[in-house]
Amino acid sequence: MSNLDRDSFSSRFGVLVAVAGSAVGLGNLWRFPYLVGNNGGAAFIIIYLLFVIVLCLPIMVSEFVIGRRGRANSFGAIEKLAPRSGWLSIGVISVVASFTIMAFYSVVGGWTIYYIFKSFSNTLFVNDSQNLTLQFSAFIESPYLPTLSHLLFLALSSLIVVAGVKNGIEKYSKLLMPLLFLLVVIVAIRSLTLEGSAKGVEFLFRPDFSKVTGKTLLDALGQAFFSLSLGMGCMITYSSYVKKEENLFKISIMGAGADTIFALIAGLAIVPAVFAFGISPSEGPSLVFITLPQVFAQIPFGRVISILFFIILLIAAVTSAISLIEVVTAFLTEELNWSRKKAVATIFVALGFIGALSSLSMGALPSLTIFGKNLFDLFDFISSNILLPLGGALVVLFVGWRLNGAELYDELSNGATIKFDRRLFRVFLFVIKYVAPLAILIVLLANFLA
C-alpha cells in the first residue's frame, strides 16, 4: 500500500478521542480504583500523577514522534527510521504485547457484557459479599459463558477495526467517548451524594505517606504505563495516522490529561460509594464485580446505576481493545500486504483461541498453569510487568539516542512552523535520554528481584 492512500484520522477531535479512547479503559475503572484502595489512597495518587507527568508524558511524545515520522505501523516505522537495526525489536514487542494484553483484556471485556445482562436479574442485588463472591467465581470458572462473552466482545471490537481508521476507529470513538464521560459523571454524582461518602473523598485526597513502600512505586509506574497505553506501539500506530499540521506535544498533553482526569472521576465514582457502606476499598481486582454490586444493592436507583456502570466498563474496554487490534492489523496489512479483512479475521481467530484458553485457565481447565500462574494471570504479568516497561525503555532510548536532535526538533515543531520552546526541548531530551530509561530499569530490576 503506498503512503498516499493510507487511511488517517480526519480531524484533531478525531485524533484526541481515539487516543483518549485507547488510554481510558479497564485500567482506569477496574485497575486504578483497586490499586488506590490497596496502596493507601491519596499518597498513591500523588505518586501516580508524578510518574505520568515526569516519565510517561515524554514517553508518549516519543511514541508519537516515531509514528508520525515513520508513517507506518510500529514495525514499519522503525524500519524506515533505522533500517535493519536491532531497534526493530520495538516492533516485535508491540505485536507480541498486543496479543498478550488482548488475551486477558478481552476476557474481562466479556465479563462486562455478562454483568450488563446480569444487572437485569435480581440475583445480583444482594447485600451479601459472600454470595456475590460465589456468583462471580462460579461465572468466571465456568466453561462456556465467559468464553462466549469473550468472543462477543472480540467480535464487537473487530467489527469496528475492520471498518478502518477513519470510518471505524475514529467514528466510533467520536460517538462513544463523550457518552463515556457523561455516564461516568452521572455515576460519580450518585456516589458523591450518598450519605457517608465524604470519608471516601478524604481517602482519595488526604495523603498518608506512611503507607508508601517500594511496591507502591512499582504499582504506580506499572499502572501509569498500562493506563496510558504506552510501551507497545499503540501510540506509534495511532500517530502514524496523524496529519503533519497537528501539534504532537499538545495532543500528548490532552490525551494524558483526559486519561488522568477520567481515572480521578472513576475513583470518585467508586471509592466514596464503597466507603459510604463501610466496605473496604482494598478488595483487589474483584472490587468492581463483587464490591460494587453490593453497593448497588443498597442505593436508590441501584439497578439503573449498575446497568450504566457496566455499560461504561464495556465502552471503555472496547475503545481500548480496538487500539490493540489495530497495532497488529496495521502490521499485517503493511508488512505482509494482507487485506484489512483478512488481517482482522485472522486476528479474531487467533485471539479468540488464546483468549478462550486464558478464560478456561481460570477454572474449567486448571491444568493450564505455567510457573504457578494460570494463563490469565500469566498474560497480565508478562505484558504489564515485562513487555510494557521493556518496550517503553527501548522507545525512549531509540528517540533519545538514535534519532538525531535536529530531526526530533523538526518533528515536534512541525518543521519549525510551530513554536516549541528550546528549554522545554532540552528538558524533554534529558528525561528521555537518562531519567526515563533509568527509572524503568529500576522498576524492571525490582520486579525481577522481588
Residue with smaller CB distance to ligand PHE, 103 or 324 = 324
Q: Provide, rounded to whole angstroms, the least separation between the CB of residue 387 and ligand PHE.
A: 10
Residue with smaller CB distance to ligand PHE, 271 or 408 = 271
Cα separation, 279 vs 34, in Å, equals 13
Residue with smaller CB distance to ligand PHE, 28 or 119 = 28
How many CA atoms lie within 13 Å of 134's alpha carbon, on the beta-carbon side? 5
Q: Provide, rounded to whole angstroms, the least separation between the CB of residue 115 and ligand PHE.
A: 17
Query: Which residues, other chains included, contact 131 with Cβ-Cβ below 8 Å and sequence gap of 6+?
Result: none
Please tell me whether residue 199 adopts helix, strand or coil conformation.
Answer: helix
Q: Provide, rounded to whole angstroms, the least separation between the CB of residue 416 and ligand PHE.
A: 32
Q: Provide, rounded to whole angstroms, the least separation between the CB of residue 358 and ligand PHE.
A: 16
Cα separation, 202 vs 102, in Å, equals 35
Residue with smaller CB distance to ligand PHE, 234 or 393 = 234
Q: Provide, rounded to whole angstroms, the least separation between the CB of residue 293 and ligand PHE.
A: 21
Q: Which helix (H) or strand (E) holds 24?
A: none
Q: Provide, rounded to whole angstroms, the least separation between the CB of residue 25 and ligand PHE.
A: 2
Got the DSSP string for 359-384?
Answer: HHTTTTSTT-EETTEEHHHHHHHIII
- What are the cell numbers at 285? 481486582
Q: Provide, rounded to whole angstroms, the least separation between the CB of residue 250 and ligand PHE.
A: 20
Nearest of 55, 51, 82, 86 to residue 69 by alpha carbon: 82
Residue with smaller CB distance to ligand PHE, 227 or 329 = 227
Residue with smaller CB distance to ligand PHE, 236 or 295 = 236
Which residues form the interface with ligand PHE (CB under 6 A)? 22-23, 25-28, 101, 226-227, 229, 232, 234, 320, 323-324
Residue with smaller CB distance to ligand PHE, 290 or 324 = 324
Angle, alpha carbons 266-382-161 (nearest 5°): 60
Scored b (16 or more CB within 10 A) or e, 93-120 reads bbbbbbbbbbbbbbbbbbbbbbbbebbe
Nearest of 126, 173, 220 to residue 323 by alpha carbon: 173
